[in-house]
Amino acid sequence: MTPWLDSTVERLARALGAEPEALRISDDDAALLLDLAAFAARDSGERTNAPLLCHVLGMLRAAGAPLGALAVALRGEEPG
């Protein structure tokens, strides 16, 4: 994560009584999320769909869906 995102995660965790480690994004997940956000913007033609999609992905992740499976479903790929 970037220094800004690191400090933001720390601040949010403190404010909400959450564990910062539970909120950290791995480098691989960050790269995949950015790729999916770019996909949403390109595929829809609307940049505003990128952060909205990331919110939906976050809700699905909170419900237990693996990020890789979400990426496959979003892109319409066959699970491999």
H/E element, 79: none
Report the alpha-carbon distance of residue 67 to residue 78 in Å, rounded: 15
Q: Is the pLDDT of residue 71 over 90?
A: yes
Total structural domains in the chain? Answer: 1
Q: Which pLDDT does position 77 carry in this prediction?
A: 77
- Decide if 67 contacts 54 (C-beta within 8 A): no
pLDDT in tens, 9-44: 999 999 999 999 999 999 999 999 999 999 999 999
Q: Which pLDDT does position 80 carry in this prediction?
A: 58
Q: Say if 80 falls within a structural domain.
A: no
Q: Which pLDDT does position 38 carry in this prediction?
A: 96
Q: Which pLDDT does position 79 carry in this prediction?
A: 64
Question: Which domain covers residue 25, as residue numbers?
Answer: 3-75
Please state the pTM of the whole predicted model: 0.83
Q: What is the 3-state secondary structure (H, E, C) of 17-72?
A: CCCHHHHCCCHHHHHHHHHHHHHHHHHHCCCCHHHHHHHHHHHHHHCCCCHHHHHH
Q: Say if 12 falls within a structural domain.
A: yes
